[in-house]
Chains A and B, each alone.
Chain A
Amino acid sequence: MVQDRRVVALFIGSILLLGVIIGGPLVYAIMLSFYSAKSFVGELQWVGLANYAKTIQDPLFWQAFANGLMIALAAIFLQVVLGVGIALVLNRRFFGQSVVRAVSILPYFLPTVVACLIAQWILDPNYGLLKSILASFGIGIADWSAQGVTARGTIVLVSVWLWTPFVITCVLAGLQTIPTQLYEAARVDGAGAWRQFWHITVPGLRSVLVVVILLRGIWMFNKFDLIWLLTKGGPLNQTETLPTLAYRKSFLEFNLGGGAAVATLSFLILAGVMLIYLRLFPIDDAKQGR
């Protein structure tokens, strides 16, 4: 078949443009990590692996890594548990099902900044709704952002509220693929709801959950905006993660090379974890080929 030149030309042109605006920055980021730049306007100076060496020796880097891992794992766990639970409820038949399904994924639609502002408003230690409610029971409330545990907990809480709908939607779709005959057969055999869940529903959702956990893991680990908006890494670096550390180094300390090194390292760590994950839980092609 003859290929239309215009189609070929537009395809190649668009690909090149895409390559420049995505590939260009990525290559430049890796390049920057081998240079030292004291400011955005200063000269670049080749320093080899010095940025990486400094980064790896920095205890803050490892603390940020541990914080990010902790926040990501807690958030993913809660998102999956809550997402599967809500999906199972919404999969039943009830009045107003489609409206409730729409409402349940509404939070996913909100920009992160809006969700963070709502959370700060509700949790405000002086004026917030939570404070008023607890005060009417005579319970006092502390500032959540003053302590590492509560600050991390709040980040996890907001992440769960915002992004569980992704799990709900995927699990609801996954539930449709489980043949109903299996449940009927199990009921005939006298299996209760609990055993049906563990022996039919969970295995049936396996391939969906593998993908969902993978994607949520990547996105949670790379999360910058939510943490920066809520805590800016504080108190005392207790919620500093690799993305916020990369931002702090690049744009507050004007250490571009150091920031680029942190970003590159965090990408390498993520890629490594993903490879191990995919080795442990291979994605079957039918699901991936969507």
Chain B
Amino acid sequence: MTNHVETSSMTPDDQPLDQKPVRRQPSSQHQDATTGDGGSGKSFGKLAARLGLYVAVIAVCIYSFFPIYWMMISSLRPMDRLFLDSSLVFWPPDLASYTSLFQQTNYLVNFMNSVLMAVGTIVISLVLSAFIAYGATRLHFRGKTTLVASMLFAYMFPPLMLAIPMAAAFRWLGLTNSLWGLLIAHLAIALPLAVWLLWGFFKSMPFDLEEAAMVDGCSQFEAFIKVVLPLSAPGLITVGIFSFLLSWADYVFALILIMSDQKKTLPVALASLLGAHDLRWGEVLAGASLIALPLFVIFIFCYRHFVAGLSAGALKG
């Protein structure tokens, strides 16, 4: 399942389909064939190799997951034991850090700001990138390749090369300390990626489908809305996920464009929490866990789309 996604997303063109089942064989032959032949010395070596593999796998899991786990169990400890307790269990969980987070900080307001930014970024970047990517694959004009290549080029720009002029321009546009301004900034980082991903989807969609719809009396616009968009649902979901991630995780632009506590988004609010009250680690870790929670939910339900977009270079990081 996951193999399939990764393979098809990374190299759709040069990967013949019939190779997928084949590729697993060397390792499985290697491993399984020997369990049958029962030679004592040989199978001992194979057993050791198998054991080594599982040790490595467990090491990878601990390395990847333990820091996240540690954050979550720390946030569930009673606050007076937070700095003393280094046990690996959190039972019984204590929600004191969370209640304190909600009572003593603007966390809910900041959370809503983040949700607003994310929803706005998803909706607007989906609409605009769908129009652009569709036009770039179906209309005839010069400079198409330049247009698409310039989307990739946007990867290269230092974020501050956008943030500095935006901060200055927003001053005389009246968008200083405004969530509208931040939304523009989030669109500026999400759109190039969205266009790039959707362009790949629309390009691979056969033109015959729209043509059939247009023969039946649809206009090209109607064919786009009724035929192309529904069929590119997986691409739209991928674009939506990554637009959400870019907006949800953004620290740079929110730091520079937003000043008041009431308008901060989660990443900046959380970072300033640590600076403002030292040793507020309970609240900070509870807040960090809550930022990560929606991400984990999305991750579990949209893992395929995530991997597909990831290997297409979707997330700047």
User: Which positions in A face B, CB cutoff 8 Å?
Assistant: 2-4, 6-8, 10-15, 17-18, 21-22, 24-26, 28-29, 32, 37, 40-41, 86, 89-94, 96-98, 100-122, 126-127, 129, 132-133, 161-163, 165-166, 169-170, 172-177, 179-180, 183-184, 208, 211, 215, 218-219, 222, 224-225, 228-229, 242-243, 246-247, 250-251, 256, 259-260, 263-264, 266-267, 270-271, 274, 286-287, 289-290
Contacts and interface: CB of A to CB of B under 8 A. Distances in A.
A177 B2 CA distance: 15
Given A26-B165, A106-B65, A110-B295, A274 B156 contact: yes
A229 B100 CA distance: 23
B84 to A, nearest CB: 9
A215 B155 contact: yes
Nearest to B152: A288
7 contacts: A105-B306, A114-B270, A180-B25, A215-B155, A228-B255, A247-B160, A250-B167
Given A21-B187, A105-B307, A117-B274, A176 B3 contact: yes
Given A22-B188, A118-B70, 9 more contacts: A106-B299, A111-B295, A113-B251, A169-B311, A176-B15, A224-B158, A228-B251, A259-B160, A267-B157
A133 B316 CA distance: 34
Contact of B164 (A94, A132, A246): A246
B154 interface: yes
Interface string B118-135: 000000000011011011
A29 B162 contact: yes
B276 interface: no
Interface of B: 1-3, 6-7, 9-15, 19-20, 22-28, 31, 53-54, 56-57, 60-61, 63-65, 67-68, 70-71, 74, 82-83, 86, 128-129, 131-132, 134-136, 138-140, 147, 154-162, 164-169, 171, 184, 187-188, 191-192, 195, 200, 219-221, 224, 245, 248-249, 251-252, 255-256, 267-268, 270-271, 274, 281, 284-285, 288, 291-292, 295-296, 299, 303, 306-307, 310-313, 315-317
B224 A40 contact: no
Nearest to B169: A28
A89 B70 contact: no
Contacts of B220: 2-4, 6-7
B192 A259 contact: no
The 3 lowest CB-CB distance pairs between A and B, nearest first, are A11-B135, A173-B10, A4-B220
A263 B27 CA distance: 49
